[in-house]
Each structure stands twice: as C-alpha cells, then as structure tokens.
Amino acid sequence: MTRKVDAKLVIKRMKLAVRLILPVAMLTLSGCWDSTEVNDLAIITAVGIDRTEDQQLELTVKIYLISPSDIEGSNGMTGSGDTGSGQSVIRSVKGTSIADAASRLQQVLTRKVFWGQAEVFMFGADMARHGLDEVMDFLTRQPTIRERANVFISETSAKEVLALNPPIERSVSDALREMVNLQTCSGTSLMKLSQMMSGKSRAAIVPTVDIIEADYETPFPYISGIAIVKNGAMIDQIREEDTLGIMWLRDIIKPRKTITLEPGKHQYISVQLIRGHTSLIPSIEDDRWKITVRSESLVKIIENTTDRDYSIPDHLDQLEAELADHINRNINQAIDLAQQKWKADIYQFADVFHRAYPKIWARQKDRWEELFPKVEVKLETNVIIRRPGMTGKNIFKPGQR
C-alpha cells in the first residue's frame, strides 16, 4: 500500500550508523596519538654536532623561536644564542652518543622536538675527524629527517657557527643554504653523503664552513672550502681557492665560476664559465688502469687588462690553450692530492671502473685500496671561448694588439 518508510528499516539504518560512528567517536575522544599543534613544536632549523674534550658528543640545535617569553626559561642549558636580534635560540646538550644526546634534548625543551624542518647539519671539525659513521646512521634512520638537508663541516666548532645570526637571512640555516645554492660548488645533501660514504670508493667531500669576523659587522659564516672524508672520517680539508680541480673531476662545477690568468705582471685576463662538463672514461689494458678525464667548457671573457687584443682569432686560440693548461694543472694537482696524499677516491673512479668493467671489478674490488693510487690519468681538456663580452678590445688600453 503506502510506500511508507519502513520503521524497522529506519531503526536498522540508524543502528548501522551508530555502529559505524561510535567507534570512530570513541577513538577520537580517546586521543590523537600523533597530532601535535604547531605551537607545541620546537622547530629545529639547523643541527650542529661537536665532540667535546671529554669524548662526548654535543648536540646543538637552532630552534625557531616563536614566543619571546621562551627566552627566559633557560633551565640548566649550556648555551643560549644571541637572542637580541634574531628569532632563533640555540640549545645544546651532551651525550655519550647522538641518540643519547637527542633524547636529552627533549628533556631540556618545553616543546616537542621536531626534526622535519632541519635543513642544515653541521659537523664540528673535531667530530668529523673522529668519524661520522655513528651520527650518519642515526640521521638516516630517523623517519622525520630530510634526506635533502645540507651537510657541512665547520672549521671551528659547529656550535659557534649555529650561534651566529647572519644579518641578511632569517637564520644561519637559511644563509648557508642560500650560499650553497649560489656558490660555485654544489652542496652535499645528507643522502649524497651517505651514498658516497657507503659506495664503492668510501670517500666523500663535504663543504666546510668558517666564520668571517669583520669588525664593522656581526660575524657571519661562509663556505670556506672542501673537507675530504675517507672511510667515515675527515682526513683533510682544502681551501676554496684550491678546489677547482676537484670540482672539475667531480663534474660539479657550476656556471659563473671565474678563472683568472696572469700572463704578465699585473696583467689579468678573466673568463667566466658558461657551461662546463667533465666525463671520466675508464680503460683497463693488461692490468694498467687508466682514466681519461675529458672536460669541455664554454667560457666568456669578462676582464682583459693584458696587452693582447682577444678579438683576434689567433689570440683566442692561444688563450684557449692557456686556459686548458691552467685547468689541467688544477686537475693534476687534485689527482695528485687524492692519489698520493689522501689515498681517497673522492672522484669515484671506483664506480667508473665498475660500470665499464663489471667482471674485472668484481675480481679486483678488494684491491681497490692499492690500485687507486696507481690509476693513470690522462687529461683531454677543451676550452671554447664563446663571447668576448660587450666590448672587443679594451677601450681604455689602446695599445692592445
């Protein structure tokens, strides 16, 4: 008769609804295990790890500070940043291991430690020399830590660098990140570092950071060079000026890198890189392991205070040769350092050989330690000058020929 709504059906549906909603409601009320309010987080933007004199690890974190009232509550903390100008504070704790220190960190913070936004990991030089393995294991195991975070090794203690408040950027972490992006050498991400450290060559390079203490301004950090890490520990570091060869060999050279030659006294010719590329070509002949480093670069002239007029093609050829020579010298120097001084395969020749000669590599991989210094390196460098800049001859030096 009536298509009336069956009362039983109503009750059934209602009960079904209650049955579905009730558990959800109960669970919701009983607690949201993982929810954290943003204002209950201690947002770490940079992490520094040092080794103290008493063989402990000191973990320093830079925390973005939200409430000014939080500065006051320094309950037994060892360090406190320059809270006057910045919006960040630092906290540091000591522990026997990094995990230990990390758990202690929570004890001295009123907010939940949040690693998810840490973009910079700074290792103190002492600690780096002692070994990075243990720390790296911790860092790669944490689900919240970013694989893309930048890794640095500081020449002073990491804590000192973190304590800086660079005037332009919001925090020291931003400053370093931006520097890496703009600098002529690539930074090293956490994942790249673990790849290099665990790879076949077990050698890695990490940018180093130092502090410039200018008397006219607050001190600020800058990227000072490259640290060489072998078998998990830093073995040496070189200044930024000497890294050219390494960058060529690792093919991480970026545009805007400038090369300056000095053909005569106080006469300079500078070229800037438009594009540069290096490839490593391996060959094995009767147990003689050889690598051909073939590099190609496009450059443009940005300064010319010499007597020569580089709008003449012959002169350009000559300059190209000189530049190639210069690059060769740098590369040779870098190879010598790696093969003789560090005995560390930071250019990942191991991978190169493995890719080309998998079978030979499989037999010889245990001998790599002794093979590497004996690898012969041949250079094939080619420089092409693309543009002379806006002017041809130096307008202010009519004597150029």
Partner 1 sequence: MITVSHILSRLLRSGQRRSAQAEQSIHHLQVQADLSEELHVNVELLRNIYADCSDIIFHEFVIGGRTRAVLIYIDGLINVEEIDRHVLAPLQRDNLDEHSLSNIRRTIPVTSITTVKTPVDAIEAISNGRPVLLVEKEPQGLSFGLSEWEKRAIEEPTSESVLKGPREGFIESIRTNTALLRRKVRSPNLKIRMIRKGNYTRTSIAIAYIDGIASPALVEEVMRRLQPIEIDGILESTYIEELIEDNPFSLFPQMLATERPDVAAAYLLEGCVVLLVDGSPSVRIAPITMYSLLQSPEDYYERYFIGSAIRWLRYLFFAISLLGPSLYVAILTFHQEMIPTPLLLTMARSREQIPFPALIEALLMETMFEALREAGARLPKQIGSAVSIVGALVIGQAAISAGIVSSPMVMVVAITGIASFMSPRFNIGITVRLLRFPMMFLAGFLGFLGVILGIIIILNHLLTLRSFGVPYLSPLAPMRNRDLKDVLIRVPTRMKAEYPHAPADRNHERQSSDLWSDSGNGDDST
Partner 2 sequence: MIEKGKISSYQLGKMMYLAIIPTAILTSPGITFQYARQDLWISPLWAFTGVIVVLVILRLHHWFPGQSFTHIWERVAGRTVGRTIGAIYWIFYLYVNGIIVREYGEFIVGAFLLNTPLIVITGSIVLVCAMAVRGGVEIVGRFADLFLPAFIVLFLLILLPIIPDLNIEQMLPVMGQGIMPSITGSFVLQIWFSELMTISYLLPYVHDHDKTGPSIWLTLIAIILTLLISNLFTLLLLGDLTGSYTFPFLILARYINLQDFFTHLESLFMAIWVLCAFVKICVFYYVTVLGAAQSMGLSDYRPIVWPLGFLLTVFSLWVAPNYQELAHAISMSVVFAMLTMFLVLPVLLWFIAWLKTSGSRRSQRSDDARSLRGSSQ
Partner 3 sequence: MEFATILGIAVVLVTIAVFEGRQLRAHQRRERYAMITLCILGGILAAMLVYNLEMPGPTQFIETVYRPLSEAFEQWAEERSLQP
Q: Is 37 in the site for partner 2 (CB under 8 A)?
A: no
Q: Which of residues 99-158 bind partner 2 (CB under 8 A)?
A: 116, 140, 143, 146-148
Q: How far is the CB of 28 from partner 2 (least distance, A)?
A: 11
Q: Which of residues 1-30 bind partner 3 (CB under 8 A)?
A: 12, 15-16, 19
Residue 15 contact, options partner 2, partner 1, partner 3, none, Cβ 5-8 Å cut-off depending on partner type? partner 3
Whole-number Cα distances in Å, 91 to 31, 61, 81, 276: 30, 6, 8, 42
Which residue from 159, 149, 138 is spatially nearest to 62, judged by alpha carbons? 159
CB-CB contact of 348 with 361 (8 Å): no
Stretch near partner 1 under the rule CB under 8 A, chosen from 63-71, 76-84, 225-233, 343-351? 63-71
Q: How far apart are CA 71 and CA 383, in angstroms?
A: 56
* Residue selected from 24, 168, 214, 395 as contacting partner 1 according to rule CB under 8 A: 24
Q: Which of residues 13-32 bind partner 2 (CB under 8 A)?
A: 20, 23, 27
Residue 79: φ, ψ to 5°: -130, 160
* Residue selected from 7, 38, 168, 395 as contacting partner 1 according to rule CB under 8 A: 38
Burial 217-256 (b: 16+ CB within 10 A, else e): eeebbebbbbbbbbebebbebbebeebbbbbbbbebbeee
Q: Is 72 in the site for partner 1 (CB under 8 A)?
A: no
Q: How far apart are CA 282 and CA 238, in angstroms?
A: 27
CB-CB contact of 176 with 209 (8 Å): yes
Binding site for partner 2 (CB under 8 A): 20, 23, 27, 33-34, 116, 140, 143, 146-148, 191, 194-195, 198-200, 351, 354-356, 358-359, 361-362
Q: Which residues bind partner 1 (CB under 8 A)?
A: 1-5, 10, 13, 17, 20-21, 24-25, 27-28, 32, 34-39, 41, 43, 45, 64, 66-67, 114, 116-117, 119, 144, 146, 170
